[in-house]
Amino acid sequence: MAQQAYVTETDNGGPGSERRRPGLRRLTQRLTAGWWRDPGVWRRGLVPAVLALALGLVMLLHAQIPNAIGNLGSLTETFLPWLGVFVPLLLVLGVVRRSATALIAVLVPAIIWVSLFGGQLTDKTGTGGDLTVATHNVNADNPDPSGTARDVAASGADVVALEELTASAVPTYEKALAETYRYHSVQGTVGLWSKYPLSGVRPVDIRLGWTRAMRGVVDTPSGEVAVYVAHLPSVRVKMEAGFTARQRDKSADALGEAIAGERIGKVVLLGDLNGTMNDRALNAVTAQMRSTQGASGTGMGFSWPARFPMARIDQIMVKGVEPSSSWTLPETGSDHLPVAARVEVDPTTS
C-alpha cells in the first residue's frame, strides 16, 4: 500500500507530542488538480468576476458617485476602507467556483485597495515633534467624566480639546484637568485646555445657532499656534432619506472659511468632524489642511464607535505645522476613542 506523504510538526503542548497534517504540496494539488486542463475554468465564475470589477470601479471612481440621491457619494467615502473586506470573500468564491477568470478579476480591487490604503498599514511614526495635542468627544452621557479627564491628561498632551461638553459636567472636567493644564477656556459645548498660555479665545460661527466651535492661540515654546476646536453636526443614515448630512456640510464650509481667514500661519484643528478625510463634503477643510493620521502613525486610526471602531471621524489636522506621529488612546467612558498626535511647530529646534 502506498504511504501517504505527511509533514510532521512538533507541538509545543509537551515533550514528544506531535501531530501530522497533509503536506502543503498535496493540498495545493488537490485544490488545483485539473484546473488548467479544464476549458470551463475560464467560463465559470463570471458573476464573481463582474462583482470584483464593479468593486474595483467603486473604489477607483468613488469621487464620481453623485451625492444628489441620499448623499450616496459621501456615504461610500465614509466607509471606503471597509470595501476591502469583500476582496477575500470574492477570492474564496473564485476558488470554490474553480474559476481562473474570477481569480484574475479579484486582483483589480485588491490592487486598487492597496494603492489607496496600503500606506496606512505601514509604520510612519516619526521621532520628532515639539508639541503633543489630543482631542476627545467625551459624550454628553459619559458616566465617568472625571475618569475620562484623567485618562486624557495621562496621555501627556500639551494641548487637549474636548467636545460634547454639557453644562453640568464642565465643572468636573475643569477640576480634574486643573492640575495638569493651567490655562483653559470653554465655549458652548467645546473646550480647550493647555499647559501654555492661551489668548485670542473666541467662539467660531459654524452656522448652527449655538456654539460648537472655538479658536484660541497657544503660546508654545516654539511659537504661536492657532488652535481650532470643532464638533460638526452628526449625520444619520435613514432608509427613506439616505445619508443625511446637509447641516454637517454647511458647518464644514463655515469652518473652512474661518480657518482660511486665520492670520496666524501655524494652525491645528482638533475635533469631531463627523466625517472622514475621504468625504468630499469636508473639502472646505481638508483641501487646506493635512491629516496627522495620513502623514504619520500606523494603521487606520479608527475612532468611532469606541467598542468596535469603524471610521476615523475624530480628526487632528494641521497647516504650517509638520506632523510627526499619530495614535489613538485607550477607551474611556465615551463612545469615541481619544486621538493624539505629535507635531513639529518649529523645525529649527529639532
241 and 197 inside one domain: yes
226 and 90 inside one domain: no
Give the residue from 121, 142, 173 where a domain finishes. Answer: 121
Mean pLDDT of 130-134: 96
319 and 184 inside one domain: yes
Whether 2 maps to a domain, the answer reads no
pTM, rounded to two decimals: 0.82
Q: Cα 190–194–197 angle (5° rounding)?
A: 115
Give the residue from 121, 147, 171 where a domain finishes. Answer: 121
Q: What is the pLDDT of residues 222-257, one digit of tens each?
A: 999 999 999 999 887 655 445 568 899 999 999 999
45 and 171 inside one domain: no
Report the distance separating Cα 258 and Cα 30, nearest Å.
64
Whether 22 maps to a domain, the answer reads no
Give the residue from 88, 121, 154 where a domain finishes. Answer: 121
Whether 3 maps to a domain, the answer reads no
262 and 343 inside one domain: yes
> What total of structural domains would you count in the chain?
2
What is the arrangement of strands in the sheet containing 198-203, beginning at the earlier edge strand?
198-203, 213-220, 223-231, 267-272, 314-319, 290-291
pLDDT of 121 > 80? The answer is: no
189 and 44 inside one domain: no
What is the arrangement of strands in the sheet containing 183-187, beginning at the earlier edge strand?
183-187, 190-194, 159-163, 131-137, 339-344, 322-328
Q: What are phi and psi of 47, to 5 degrees?
A: -65, -50
Whether 23 maps to a domain, the answer reads no
246 and 170 inside one domain: yes
205 and 342 inside one domain: yes
Whether 181 maps to a domain, the answer reads yes
pLDDT of 132 > 70? The answer is: yes
Q: What is the pLDDT of residues 306-346, one digit of tens each?
A: 999 999 999 999 999 999 999 999 999 999 999 999 999 98
112 and 139 inside one domain: no
149 and 283 inside one domain: yes
Which residue in 333, 325, 326, 322 sits closest to 312, CA to CA?
326
99 and 160 inside one domain: no
Report the distance separating Cα 118 and Cα 67, nearest Å.
27
Mean pLDDT of 146-156: 95
Whether 165 maps to a domain, the answer reads yes
Residue 49 sits in which domain range? 34-121
Grid coordinates standing for 18?
A: 506531535
CATH code assigned at 237: 3.60.10.10
Whether 219 maps to a domain, the answer reads yes
Q: Identify the residue with better confidence: 77 or 268.
A: 268
Q: What is the pLDDT of residues 10-50, one digit of tens each?
A: 445 444 444 444 555 554 555 555 555 677 788 889 999 99
Whether 1 maps to a domain, the answer reads no
113 and 232 inside one domain: no
